[in-house]
Each structure stands twice: as structure tokens, then as C-alpha cells.
A and B are shown apart, each in its own frame.
Chain A
Amino acid sequence: MDIITAHQLKKYYGKGENQIKALDGIDLAIEKGKFTAIIGASGSGKTTLLNMLGGLDTPDEGEVIVDGVSLAGLKEKELAVFRRGKVGFVYQNFNLIPTLTVKENMLFPLSLAGSTPDPVFFQEILTLLHLEDRQNAYPNQLSGGGQQRVAIARALIAKPSVILADEPTGNLDSKSSQNVLGLLKLSVETWKQTLVMITHNLEIAQMADRVIRIEDGRIRA
């Protein structure tokens, strides 16, 4: 079953001569419960595509349908609810909120929804990510790898249906990046989530159930 489908996505920047076609008519379908990797050279439009799938950006043409609902038809408020419940983001630049502790950062999407986490599940994730003793620290006290773990925990804790990761290991050394990948794969298996990851690393792409190649804003077979 396809959880995300995109029809003829197009995104252009600039006008006339200087126009950049970030996405030039992309059709794709992401299967539920599988790990899909998106590969491409830099500037090929991977990040733009991922942003569209998660509702962080609007396409100039085309539409994205997630779980039967078209994102274009959603209002700002509904998009916000969509982003916090349905999708979990893991970004390259961590984007943790500097004024909240690690624990509060992890629980942020849940707090926005007004719910509290399942305590057992929360403890599980903490243990798995080796963050139990760092709960009350602030992001600037953590190492790069630590911050990345917090970001992953944040993406996982709301048990979203879809996890979107944009080169989650881009800034990490090889040891941490292996761990991060292992954890993502693990959670996808355990909780039946869908993982879409951007990477330019073929090795990582191997682990995926399906690989999509993007080149100059188009999908290459």
C-alpha cells in the first residue's frame, strides 16, 4: 500500500534566464512500512523533494497525497497538526530548540499536540539511544552525535507513520553514522513505520528496500 504519492511535482526558483528547475515533474509512490532511499548528486533536488513530501514547502505545480489526503488542500493549522503527528523529521542541521532541555526537546512535538508520552516507550528510547543521563542537559552541552541522537529520538517518540531523514549522518563520523542508521532501521522494523532517507552514500542505500535516483529534478529509472 502506498502511503505517499506525488504527481508531477514541479518547483522553480528565479525567472527567465536565471531560472533553476529544482523539481521538474516528479512522480513517485512510497510504499508503507518500507525503507526507501533517495540518491542523487548535490543540487539534484533531493532536499526539495523531501520538504514537499513532509509538507514543509509547497510545489509550484503538482500535488502530494499522504495517506489519502492531499497536502495542497490543507490549511496552515491542519498542516501543523499533520507535521507533528504524521511525520517525523530528522535534519542535517539538528535544529534543536536551544532553550529547552534534551528531554523537553524530545517531547516537543507531543507537547505541541498536548499529549504525554507513553512512559515505558519513552524509557525504551532513552535507553536505546544512551540518553538517560543527559535528560536535563541543554543542547549546547551535547556533542554533535549526541544532538543527532536527540533529534532522532524526537522524530521517533510520537510514533509517526512516516520518518523523513535528510542525510542524517552527513555531519557525523563513521562510527556514529553507522549507529544512527542501525537505529533507524531497527525502529522501522519494530514499529512498522515508513522511512524515507536522502543519502549520497551508496553503501547506506544498500540497506534500503527501494532506491530512487534523482538527477536534475527528475527521477532516473
Chain B
Amino acid sequence: MRKHKNIKFLRFSILLLMLLLIALLLWLLWKFVPRASVRFCLLAVCAGILAAAGLLNWYQRLQISSFAGEICETLDALMSGRQPEDYHPYEDSLTSRVQGKLLQYYDIMNEGKLQSQKDKETIQGLVSDISHQVKTPVANLRLYAGILKNPALPAEKRNEFLGTMSGQIDKLDFLLQSLIKMSRLETGTFALHITEAPLKDTIAAAMSTVWARAEEKGIALLADCDSGITVQHDPKWTAEALGNILDNAVKYTPGGGSVAITVRPWQFYTRIDITDTGTGIPEEHYNDIFQRFYRGQEAAAQEGVGLGLYLANGIVTRQKGYISVKSRVGKGTVFSVYLLS
């Protein structure tokens, strides 16, 4: 409101000044210029100057209203979802500046739409994945159930088949769990509670999940983490992610090898290295290992669904960190997990 008042006052005082100056001019002319023709000429010239100034003012207004018109046009176009017509993106004018910002805003709003579309597609993909993966165990179960229906089955065979069936059910269970986690991850329906928590505990939790298997294979499990280090992370989910990586490491390291965890805090991120002496990953596959259901050729014999690293990557990425891998075939692999400090 005050701005309005100020502008009004300014306009009024300028007009007043103009009137005063005109009066002064008239007085000077009448006092000092003797010839009437010269007087009138001077007045005519002054009137001409004022007219030109007025024209300039009118032209400025015209430009401002055309500016407003262009902006409204742009908004109309964007609202109906088409590209604005008169858009010169790289012109150095006020119009382009505003138009550029409007288009940016439109893009951001559009993103949301696109995002929900993508989510739908993802869910569809997930559903098809699930149904595909589930097919095999279910078929097996049906088969065995059918066999077991036969009363004439010998007892050892029955026990064997039952054992296989329970194995398949475990696998099914594991698959479903992973799938559920994956779906939650993709659709973002689980909440990450990011806190500043000590890293050592998280690592300890992760290690505890693979301790047994490592002992079994005779792989040394080492951890080196300063107890004072804290990171921004969700302890539960991060432990799970680290657990998945450790699981992988243990799986692909032959007996007698070692898996070591080292923590190095940097400026923005804290780096957690998980080094194993396993079979290694060829360079071409560095990016592939983080994809859904990928399993390396060497690992065909091993258990697993190919979701572990995918989940770990998803969890870490959601915490605004990232994972990188470096490996030498036959010698070992280093997984580096970066978490925000």
C-alpha cells in the first residue's frame, strides 16, 4: 500500500514540476524575447518536445502491455499442454526471462505427472516379474504335491520330496520377501528414518547376518571402523543393504579367503569399503550387477535370486549415497558404499 501511495505522490509531484516549468518558460519568453514571432516559435518547439516525450511514454506503455500479453499467451499454451508459439528461448529480453522460468515450472509440474506414470509402469513390471519368478517354484510344488498324492510312494522318496518341497517353499518365501521389499523400495512406500547414528553398530548388525555362513566357508570376516564415526542413515535398512553386499562377497569368495570392511570418513561422504578375495567381476558388468535379477555366469550354481545388490543399491541411493565397485577377475572385488556424513 505504501508503495502505491509513494508512486502516486511521485507522479503528482512530477506533473506539478512540469506545470511550474511551463509557467517559468512562459514568463521568460514574455519578459525577454521581444519579437512575437520568435516567442510563438519557441512555444511551438517546446510543445513539440512535450509531444515527443508523450509519444515515447505511450510507446513504453505499449511495450509493457505487449509483454503482459505475451506472458498470458504463454500461460494459456502451457495450460492446454502445448508448446508456446512465439517463444524465442535465447533472446535477451524480459519476456524470454519470464517465459523461461514459466517453462521450468511447467517442467517440474510435468515431472510429477511423468513420475506417477513411471510408477505405474514399474508396478506393472514388478507384477510381471513376480508372476514369472513365482511360476517355477509353484510349478515344482504342484508337481511334488501331485507325486505325493500317490499313496504308493515309498517313505524315503516321500521324505525326499517333502524336503525338496520345503526347500522350494523357503525359496518362494525368500523370493516373496525380496519382492515385497523391492516393491516397497520402488514405490517408496516404506519410510527411511535417516538419523545421525553411529556406523559401527550398523556394520556390526550387517556382519551378524553373514557371520554363520562365513565361518562355514572358512572366510575371515574383518571390520575396521572407528567407534566415533556417525553417518546420516537409517540403521535398519542400511544394515540390510550392507548385509546384502556382504552376503554377495561371502558367496563368491572361495573358502580360505577374506572379506574386510574398512571405513574412511571424507568431507561430504563416508566411504565404507567391503573388500573380498573372490572371483571378481569383469569390467563390462560393473553396471549390470546392480540390475534386477542379474546373476553372473559363475554364480549359476549358487543360491540367490539376483536381487541382493539391486536392493542394496536402491537403499543406499535413497539415502542420497551411492555404491561403486572395482574388481580384478580372479583376485577380488571392492564394493565402496558412500553415505552422507
Q: Which residues of A contact B (CB under 8 A)?
A: 67, 69, 74, 77-82, 85, 113-115, 130, 159, 175-176, 178-179, 182-183, 185-186, 189, 192, 202-203, 206-207
Contacts A81-B96, A189-B320, A203-B326 hold; do A176 and B90 have CB atoms under 8 A apart?
no
B89-A183 in contact (CB<8A): no
Number of interface residues of B (CB under 8 A): 24
Residue in contact with B92 in the complex, picked from A81, A159, A186, CB distance below 8 Å: A81
Interface bits B85-116 vs A (CB < 8 Å: 1, else 0): 00001111000110010001000000100000
Interface bits B317-340 vs A (CB < 8 Å: 1, else 0): 100101011100000000000100
A206-B266 in contact (CB<8A): no
A79-B90 in contact (CB<8A): yes
CB closest chain-A residue, reference B321: A182
A176-B266 Cα distance, complex, nearest whole Å: 8
B266-A179 in contact (CB<8A): yes
B268 at the interface (CB under 8 A from A): yes
A130-B92 Cα distance, complex, nearest whole Å: 33
Kindly list chain B residues whose C-beta atoms are within 8 Å of the C-beta of A175: 266-267
The smallest C-beta distance from B199 to any residue of chain A, in angstroms, reads: 17
Residue in contact with B324 in the complex, picked from A74, A85, A207, CB distance below 8 Å: A207
A67-B100 Cα distance, complex, nearest whole Å: 13
Kindly list chain B residues whose C-beta atoms are within 8 Å of the C-beta of A159: 104
The smallest C-beta distance from B271 to any residue of chain A, in angstroms, reads: 7
Kindly list chain A residues whose C-beta atoms are within 8 Å of the C-beta of B317: 189
The smallest C-beta distance from B149 to any residue of chain A, in angstroms, reads: 52
Kindly list chain B residues whose C-beta atoms are within 8 Å of the C-beta of A202: 283
The 9 closest A-B pairs by CB, nearest first: A78-B90, A179-B267, A81-B90, A179-B268, A182-B268, A206-B324, A182-B269, A82-B90, A178-B266
Kindly list chain A residues whose C-beta atoms are within 8 Å of the C-beta of B271: 178
Q: Which residues of B contact A (CB under 8 A)?
A: 89-92, 96-97, 100, 104, 111, 266-269, 271, 283, 286-287, 317, 320, 322, 324-326, 338
B266-A81 in contact (CB<8A): no
A115-B97 in contact (CB<8A): yes
Contacts A69-B89, A207-B322 hold; do A114 and B104 have CB atoms under 8 A apart?
no
Kindly list chain B residues whose C-beta atoms are within 8 Å of the C-beta of A113: 97
A189-B320 Cα distance, complex, nearest whole Å: 8
B100-A85 in contact (CB<8A): yes
Residue in contact with A114 in the complex, picked from B91, B97, B269, CB distance below 8 Å: B97
Contacts A115-B97, A176-B267 hold; do A182 and B338 have CB atoms under 8 A apart?
yes
A127-B97 Cα distance, complex, nearest whole Å: 28
Kindly list chain A residues whose C-beta atoms are within 8 Å of the C-beta of B286: 206
Q: List 16 A-B contacts (CB under 8 A).
A: A78-B90, A79-B90, A81-B90, A81-B91, A113-B97, A115-B97, A178-B267, A178-B268, A178-B269, A179-B266, A182-B266, A192-B111, A202-B283, A203-B324, A206-B287, A206-B324
Kindly list chain A residues whose C-beta atoms are within 8 Å of the C-beta of B111: 192
The smallest C-beta distance from A169 to any residue of chain B, in angstroms, reads: 13
Kindly list chain B residues whose C-beta atoms are within 8 Å of the C-beta of A179: 266-269
Kindly list chain A residues whose C-beta atoms are within 8 Å of the C-beta of B322: 182, 185, 207
Kindly list chain A residues whose C-beta atoms are within 8 Å of the C-beta of B268: 178-179, 182-183
A80-B96 Cα distance, complex, nearest whole Å: 14
Kindly list chain B residues whose C-beta atoms are within 8 Å of the C-beta of A82: 89-90
The smallest C-beta distance from A34 to any residue of chain B, in angstroms, reads: 12
The smallest C-beta distance from A10 to any residue of chain B, in angstroms, reads: 25
A76-B324 Cα distance, complex, nearest whole Å: 42
**Given A77-B90, A206-B326, 12 more pairs with CB closer than 8 A:** A67-B89, A69-B90, A79-B90, A81-B96, A85-B90, A179-B266, A179-B267, A182-B266, A183-B268, A186-B320, A189-B317, A207-B322
Residue in contact with A77 in the complex, picked from B92, B283, B338, CB distance below 8 Å: B92
A114-B91 Cα distance, complex, nearest whole Å: 13
The smallest C-beta distance from B324 to any residue of chain A, in angstroms, reads: 5
A114-B96 Cα distance, complex, nearest whole Å: 12
The smallest C-beta distance from A208 to any residue of chain B, in angstroms, reads: 9
A78-B324 Cα distance, complex, nearest whole Å: 40
A82-B326 Cα distance, complex, nearest whole Å: 38
